[in-house]
Amino acid sequence: QLKGLGVVVGKPLPQKGACRHFKHSYRWLRFPCCGRAFPCASCHEASDCPAAALGVWANRMLCGKCSREAAYSDKPCEHCGNTYTKPSGAHWQGGDGCRDQQRLSTKDGRKFKGASASGVKKTVSAKAARVGVQGKKNVALKKLSAETKR
């Protein structure tokens, strides 16, 4: 079945796993309804599979580097170690989306955002003491203290 797709185990996927929907693909997906492998879910929907329109999810995948089949996962390939997602910057903690300020470049302004040179957070705004109910009270107290000093 893999030979009909042009897939040879141990070699990369044809066209580097690309299809008309995605320029780069790091894996092909195998769908349980028809048992065939496709580069993406859109290619599966465009096929003649009757269950494709129902939104069937893939449960297996083929590695884009070694063409070996494995269970669907975001973990690297068990055979060759190929990662299925694009590599991310080291300061993004493996793509979790939280910046690691220890790893950020010192030239990056976000490394020190919200902190002074000593590492302490910046001062808190005193606007609440100037406006609103509390501000009116503070202004009245200042006027009283100024009048008593005269």
pLDDT digits (tens, 9 = 90+) for 15-28: 777 788 887 777 88
Residue 149 Cα to chain centre, angstroms = 62
Q: What percent of the chain has pLDDT over 70?
A: 72
Q: How far is CA 129 from the centre of its chain?
A: 41
CB atoms within 10 A of CB 62: 24
Q: Tens digit of pLDDT for each residue in 107-147?
A: 777 666 666 666 666 667 788 788 888 888 988 998 888 88
pLDDT at 121: 61
Alpha carbons 39 and 26: distance in angstroms, whole number: 9
Of residues 121 and 14, more confidence is placed in 14
Q: What is the pLDDT of residue 91?
A: 45
pTM of this structure: 0.51
| pLDDT single digits (tens) 20-68 | 888 777 788 888 888 888 888 888 888 888 887 787 888 898 888 888 8
